[in-house]
Amino acid sequence: MTAEPATDGRLSRRGVPLIDGIEKVTGRARYTADLDHADALIGRILRSPVSHGDILRLDVSRARALEGVWAVITGDDCPHTYGVLPIAMNEYPLARGRVRYRGEPIAAVAAIDAETAERALGLIELKVTELPAYYTSEAARAPDAVLLHDNKPGNVEREVHHQFGDVVHGFAAADLVREEQFCCAEINHAQIEPHASLAEFDPLTGRLTVQTVSQVGYYLQLMLARCLDMESSRIRVIKPFIGGGFGARVEVLNFEIVTALLARAATGKVMMQLTREETFITHRARPQTDMRLKLGMSENGRITACELHVVQRGGAYAGYGIITILYAGSLLHGLYDIPAVKYDGYRVYANLPPCGAMRGHGSVDTRHAFECLVDRMARELGLDPFAVRRANLLQAPTRTMNDLTVNSYGLAECLDKVERASGWRERLGKLPPGKGLGMACSHYVSGAAKPIHFTGEPHAVVNLKLDFDGSVTALTGAADIGQGSSTMVAITVAETLDISLGRVRVIAADTAVTPKDNGAYSSRITFMVGNAAIDAAKRLKAVLVAAAARKLEARPEDIECAGEVFRVGNGDQSTLPFADVVAAALVDEGAITVKGTFTCPPDAQGGKHRGGAVGSTMGFSYAAQVVEVSVDEATGLITVDKVWVALDCGHAINPLAVEGQIQGSVWMGMGQAMCEETRYLEGLPAHASLLEYRMPTIMDSPPIETHIVESHDPYGPFGAKEASEGALAGFPPALVNAVANAIGINFTELPVTPDRVMDALIQRRRQARLASTLKAAS
Amino acid sequence: MPKSAALLVRGTTMHKPSSQPKKRLLKLKLNGRWREDAVFERELLVDYLREVTHLTGTKTGCDGGECGACTVLVDGEAVPSCITLAMRCEGRNVETIEALATQGHLSRLQRAFHEKLGAQCGFCTPGMIMAAEALLRRNPTPTDADIRTALSGNLCRCTGYVKIIESVQAAVESTS
């Protein structure tokens, strides 16, 4: 079906535990590393010891000769590039000729055990001529820099220049214009499950089966077919339980292809388990972002113009880079009504592990800069931060200047809720010394309206199977990675059919069984797969109603069904239980399969300008949050005392899961704001463990009070929109604004570590001393 | 056929056992049952559990002692099994997540983590529940601070810990 205004959902269930929760709490859930691999070979990867260089010699003969080694592969075994964007596939699963970051896969071994595989790696002879390596955007863009990719002059992967409205006029009309530089450090998803992949190649049938940590089984199938020169019909990708994603696994990863290549070379089964260090090196997370932001504001708080210059240090290969740099500009729109926006973005190659998509893809760092500067300007104009946001609200439905559709908009209510809940008006400015309150807003897409691999197929397909036993099985390609998408499918089906949740079973993400799905990214599943599931359930309901009508000798339009009972609605008291209706429906038919689909209409797929599809969606989620902090001026330590967050998710299909997603995303924003940062020493990751990559522990984590706002999106399933990403981007600026409120210092760099706080405090004391000395001298 | 397929011939030759350290007999009580296994002296408890006894509920999330996903109980104490030698458990009582649900009933912590959404992706959950189990056994009425201290070595990336704390509190309040 194409999206059409949905009727208001009347959900009875307010919060349902995950349908696969029992497996998780009992330890029965099988993640990739838990799969039976007693008979599998063990895979290991040889990685580049240098950041940039040409491979002079790669001799694997001694490794191959080692007893117990079944296969050794190199770049020679795969001449095909891969990548998530059809226009930017510039990466080989194993390097060919050139290595561009430290840790890049060069060769791989499959052996009978881990010790043998590691010994074999040690026998591979590698000689590399080093080239100059660049670890900053600036160095990579220097005029004399060696190019990482010959077709990308200046080591710039993509430049974006967008202007909507008249910024010159906008700044001229402003009462206050401010310009500020911001920098957000590179961070990592750090999902708790390390990467792993299990691949089995059967040489007798020529079939490949892969079980892996991917959020995008369909893309993996495509890339395996490409890299292994196989028909995709011979490849089966099965998703086991997945220990978190957050974007780490939304593009096909080198080790997944390498494992499959090894399985074919060894003609068997290969288990590849990456270490935590290798999982960090595989990366694909949020890039370091340097920003220069200029805003114009009138004295009543109206934003008159916005000009943003962004440089993202993207790492050595394309990955999602083009999308990230486009998102950073396009999602300046859609949150507020801004009359003029100019955006210049540069995605730069550097000799570091490739960046990619991470929760809040592309929008987080630029939203941070924006919400910080808006707050500072509000303070300068003597305006309340809430009032400034309220002065710039959109009116839905509307189309933004860059052609994004906004069909529902609950931001005003989000602001009201957190303002009240946090006691903002009563408490702001009256807190004890060292304590502060800050706030910020954010938004995110409910699924990219234009798919990456555009094929003309619907955005989502769900099959429902009804059999003699009265069970309803939903078949979906959507990857549940812990966010609860399978539970969402079960609820939407059960609600539409008005049957018990326990009657619905969900089988997800097995390419041999489930219909193709683009995967778990851009928060697309609830909106798109949810709508497809409802469509399928409506079709199944029509089949059941027709069967009941035949049995009750009534017209289908007179049949009512509720709670697994069918009756004639015109006063006739004859009823039929669900089992009888199913039996009637199966006469002459047998097991029934129906299909539901969902397609975003073309007018929701963004503007016609270059890159205009990025940011387009059927529904934006909206969030506002207030953060309360205490800053210890002796240690520079910031404690987050409490967070109040409100998110407009349209309609909470499963409020329990929505709360969990909001809390998790806010908390992930907190990690980025306060402590998370990837660091490289000459390209060597210095952060590649869960101790050195410092994310908040339970000791650092505040209470997060969540408020769900339901704006009832006209096109969402039961009115729902996404709930997993929208609140993240608001935390870092809310924190920085709270710290400014607490100690009067405006931080422009993330994370705001105790070191940075101490440096700023010391500098302030020095300046104060200097000022008083000068004053005394004069 | 890929060019390295020829390796199959070499790969199928008999592999001589390498001169690895010797195995020793390990006797321990695992999830209520005594058992004996031949175990490498250097074998880690987590590898013994996952690979020898096939109890894969205990997870490996890091390169050693960082994340707590491998937490099990040894004589009732929460222990990271990825930095514990299996041989150190000789004669001791080891309990894993698989032992908690008995006779078709979830333990109170398991039920609370399920119902309160203390588990999202579920990967840290077994370790988290075992760490909480050790806490509740020694302190049936923990405060919020007690809960935080007991779980401070267990990392979760999904929940922000809010619903994990609520789950442990709910388990404390439940009577069973």
- Residue A551 forms part of a structural domain: yes
Quick check: A195 contacting B, CB < 8 Å? no
DSSP A637-664: -EEEEEEEEEEE-SS-SSHHHHHHHHHH
In this complex, do A698 and B154 lie within 8 Å of one another by their Cβ atoms?
Answer: yes
In this complex, do B69 and A695 lie within 8 Å of one another by their Cβ atoms?
Answer: no
pLDDT at B175: 64
- Residue A727 forms part of a structural domain: no
Residues B50 and B95 in one domain: yes
Of A24, A275, A666, which is closest to B122 when you measure between CB atoms? A24
How does residue A574 score in pLDDT terms, banded at 50, 70 and 90?
Answer: confident
In this complex, do B61 and A698 lie within 8 Å of one another by their Cβ atoms?
Answer: no
From the number of C-beta atoms within 10 Å of its C-beta (0-12, 13-18, 19+), residue A492 rates as buried
In this complex, do B16 and A689 lie within 8 Å of one another by their Cβ atoms?
Answer: no
Contacts across the A-B interface (CB distance below 8 Å): 210
Q: Cβ of A226: how many Cβ atoms within 10 Å?
A: 18
Two structure tokens written together for B160: 């922000």
Residues B126 and B168 in one domain: yes
Residues B156 and B137 in one domain: yes
- The length of chain A in residues reads 778
Residues B83 and B142 in one domain: no
Measured in angstroms, the CA of B29 and the nearest CA of chain A are apart by: 19
From the number of C-beta atoms within 10 Å of its C-beta (0-12, 13-18, 19+), residue A574 rates as exposed
Residues of B in contact with A203 (CB under 8 A): 5
Instruction: List the helix and strand counts (H, then E) for chain B.
Output: 6, 5
Question: Which of A20, A23, A26 is the best substitution to test chain B (most B C-beta atoms within 10 A)?
Answer: A26
* ipTM rounded to 2 decimals: 0.96
> Domain containing B135 — which CATH number?
1.10.150.120
Residues B94 and B115 in one domain: no
Integer Cα distance of A138 and A127 in angstroms: 29
Domain span at residue B164 reads 108-173
Q: Are A121 and A71 in contact (CB under 8 A)?
A: no
Q: Is the pLDDT of residue B3 over 50?
A: no
Residue of B nearest to A278 (CA): B63
How does residue A11 score in pLDDT terms, banded at 50, 70 and 90?
Answer: low
Residues of A in contact with B120 (CB under 8 A): 18, 244, 482-484, 660, 664
Last residue of a domain, one of B54, B82, B99: B99
In this complex, do A656 and B155 lie within 8 Å of one another by their Cβ atoms?
Answer: no
Residues B119 and B163 in one domain: yes
Q: Is the pLDDT of residue B1 over 60?
A: no
Quick check: A275 contacting B, CB < 8 Å? yes
Integer Cα distance of A64 and A356 in angstroms: 34
Q: Which residue has the tokens 């966010």?
A: A483
Residues of A in contact with B8 (CB under 8 A): 70, 266-267
Instruction: List the helix and strand counts (H, then E) for chain A.
Output: 19, 31
Last residue of a domain, one of B66, B99, B132: B99
> Domain containing A467 — which CATH number?
3.30.365.10
In this complex, do A77 and B7 lie within 8 Å of one another by their Cβ atoms?
Answer: no
Interface of B with A in 48-107 (CB under 8 A): 50, 55-63, 66-67, 69, 96-98, 100-101, 106
Integer Cα distance of A598 and A222 in angstroms: 22
In this complex, do B155 and A690 lie within 8 Å of one another by their Cβ atoms?
Answer: yes
* Among candidate residues A443, A487, A411, the one with its CA nearest the CA of residue A656: A487
Two structure tokens written together for B136: 């509740």
Residues A398/A400/A405/A408 CA torsion (nearest 10 deg): -50
Q: Are A248 and A284 in contact (CB under 8 A)?
A: yes
- Residue A381 forms part of a structural domain: no
- Residue A174 forms part of a structural domain: no
Q: Which residue has the tokens 């009875």?
A: A12
pLDDT at A562: 85
Integer Cα distance of B99 and A496 in angstroms: 39
* Among candidate residues A664, A735, A687, A734, the one with its CA nearest the CA of residue A359: A664
Two structure tokens written together for B148: 């935080």
What's the per-residue H, E or C state across A469-529? CCCEEEEECCCCCCCCHHHHHHHHHHHHHCCCHHHEEEEECECCCCCCCCCCCCCCHHHHH
DSSP A89-132: --B-SS--SEE-STT-EEEEEEESSHHHHHHHHHH-EEEEEE--
Quick check: B163 contacting A, CB < 8 Å? yes
In this complex, do A660 and B161 lie within 8 Å of one another by their Cβ atoms?
Answer: no
Please state the separation of Cα A145 from the chain's center in Å.
33
Q: Is the pLDDT of residue A349 over 90?
A: yes
- Residue A374 forms part of a structural domain: no
Residues B58 and B93 in one domain: yes
Quick check: A710 contacting B, CB < 8 Å? no
Measured in angstroms, the CA of A660 and the nearest CA of chain B are apart by: 6
Integer Cα distance of A256 and A78 in angstroms: 13
Which alpha helices (DSSP H) does B6-161 contain, by range?
7-11, 45-47, 108-115, 125-138, 144-150
DSSP A662-693: HHHHHHHHHHHHHT----EETTEES--STTTS
Share of chain A above pLDDT 90, in %: 94
Integer Cα distance of B39 and B25 in angstroms: 6
How does residue A44 score in pLDDT terms, banded at 50, 70 and 90?
Answer: very high
Last residue of a domain, one of B99, B125, B146: B99
Integer Cα distance of A759 and A54 in angstroms: 41
Give pLDDT tens digits for B108-157.
999 999 999 999 999 999 999 999 999 999 999 999 999 999 999 999 99
Q: Which residues sit opposite A69 in a β-bridge? A: A111
The mean-pLDDT minimum among A4-8, A133-137, A317-321, A359-363 falls in A4-8
Measured in angstroms, the CA of B108 and the nearest CA of chain A are apart by: 11
Quick check: A471 contacting B, CB < 8 Å? no
How does residue A454 score in pLDDT terms, banded at 50, 70 and 90?
Answer: confident
What's the per-residue H, E or C state across A298-321? CCCCCEEEEEEEEEEECCCCCCCH
Angle, to 10 degrees, between the axis of helix A731-743 and the axis of helix A655-674?
50
Quick check: A143 contacting B, CB < 8 Å? no
Of A24, A191, A656, which is closest to B157 when you measure between CB atoms? A191
Q: In what order do the strands lie in the sheet with B93-95?
A: B33-40, B23-30, B93-95, B71-74, B77-80
In this complex, do B50 and A116 lie within 8 Å of one another by their Cβ atoms?
Answer: no
Question: How confident is the model over A5-12, as a mean pLDDT?
Answer: 47
How does residue A776 score in pLDDT terms, banded at 50, 70 and 90?
Answer: confident
Residues B112 and B163 in one domain: yes
In this complex, do A690 and B117 lie within 8 Å of one another by their Cβ atoms?
Answer: no
Q: How many domains does chain B have?
A: 2
Give pLDDT tens digits for A129-178.
999 999 999 999 999 999 999 999 999 999 999 999 999 999 999 999 99
In this complex, do B121 and A193 lie within 8 Å of one another by their Cβ atoms?
Answer: yes
Q: How many domains does chain A have?
A: 1
Two structure tokens written together for A576: 């039929």
Two structure tokens written together for A414: 């989000």
Of B5, B100, B148, which is closest to A267 when you measure between CB atoms? B5
- Residue B13 forms part of a structural domain: no
In this complex, do B148 and A698 lie within 8 Å of one another by their Cβ atoms?
Answer: yes
Integer Cα distance of A4 and A274 in angstroms: 45
Q: Are A628 and A428 in contact (CB under 8 A)?
A: no
Residue of B nearest to A663 (CA): B160
Question: How confident is the model over A753-768, as a mean pLDDT?
Answer: 97
DSSP H or E stretch at residue A629:
strand A620-631
- Residue B92 forms part of a structural domain: yes
- Residue A433's contacts (CB-CB under 8 Å, 6 or more residues apart) are none
Question: How confident is the model over A601-610, as a mean pLDDT?
Answer: 90
In this complex, do A265 and B7 lie within 8 Å of one another by their Cβ atoms?
Answer: yes
Give pLDDT tens digits for A671-709.
999 999 999 999 999 999 999 999 999 999 999 999 999
Of A70, A243, A695, which is closest to B11 when you measure between CB atoms? A70
Integer Cα distance of A378 and A744 in angstroms: 14
- Residue A170's contacts (CB-CB under 8 Å, 6 or more residues apart) are A296, A304, A305, A306, A339, A340
Angle subtended at Cα A596 by Cα A5 and Cα A555, rounded to the nearest 5 degrees? 80
DSSP A310-354: EEEE--SS-TTHHHHHHHHHHTTSSSS--S-EEEEEEEE--SS--
- Residue A14 forms part of a structural domain: no
Q: Is the pLDDT of residue A522 over 90?
A: yes
pLDDT at A8: 44
> A204 to each of A188, A228, A267, B1, how far by Cα in Å?
41, 16, 9, 12
Query: Please, what is the average pLDDT of chain A?
Result: 96
A397 cis-preceded (ω within 30 degrees of 0): yes
Interface of B with A in 21-50 (CB under 8 A): 50
Two structure tokens written together for A2: 């194409």
> Domain containing B49 — which CATH number?
3.10.20.30
Q: How many CA atoms lie within 13 A of A252 on its CB side?
A: 31
Q: Is the pTM of this model over 0.80?
A: yes
- Residue B5 forms part of a structural domain: no
From the number of C-beta atoms within 10 Å of its C-beta (0-12, 13-18, 19+), residue B64 rates as middle
- Residue A492 forms part of a structural domain: yes
pLDDT at A1: 54
- Residue A635 forms part of a structural domain: no
DSSP A361-426: TTTHHHHHHHHHHHHHHHHHTT--HHHHHHTT---SSEE-TT--EE----HHHHHHHHHHHTTHHH
* Among candidate residues B99, B102, B157, the one with its CA nearest the CA of residue B129: B99
Residue of B nearest to A262 (CA): B4
In this complex, do A482 and B101 lie within 8 Å of one another by their Cβ atoms?
Answer: no
In this complex, do A689 and B110 lie within 8 Å of one another by their Cβ atoms?
Answer: no
Domain span at residue A511 reads 451-599
pLDDT at A671: 98
Q: Is the pLDDT of residue B4 over 60?
A: no
Q: Which residues sit opposite A159 in a β-bridge? A: A346
The mean-pLDDT minimum among A403-417, A425-439, B17-31, B148-162 falls in B17-31
Q: Are B124 and B154 in contact (CB under 8 A)?
A: yes
DSSP state, A31?
B
Integer Cα distance of B71 and B49 in angstroms: 12
- Residue B83 forms part of a structural domain: yes
Measured in angstroms, the CA of A191 and the nearest CA of chain B are apart by: 6
Residue of A nearest to B115 (CA): A17
Instruction: Look at strands A288-297 and A176-184 and give their pairing.
Output: antiparallel
Residues of A in contact with B115 (CB under 8 A): 17
In this complex, do B50 and A484 lie within 8 Å of one another by their Cβ atoms?
Answer: no
Quick check: B125 contacting A, CB < 8 Å? yes
Quick check: A33 contacting B, CB < 8 Å? yes
- Residue B71 forms part of a structural domain: yes
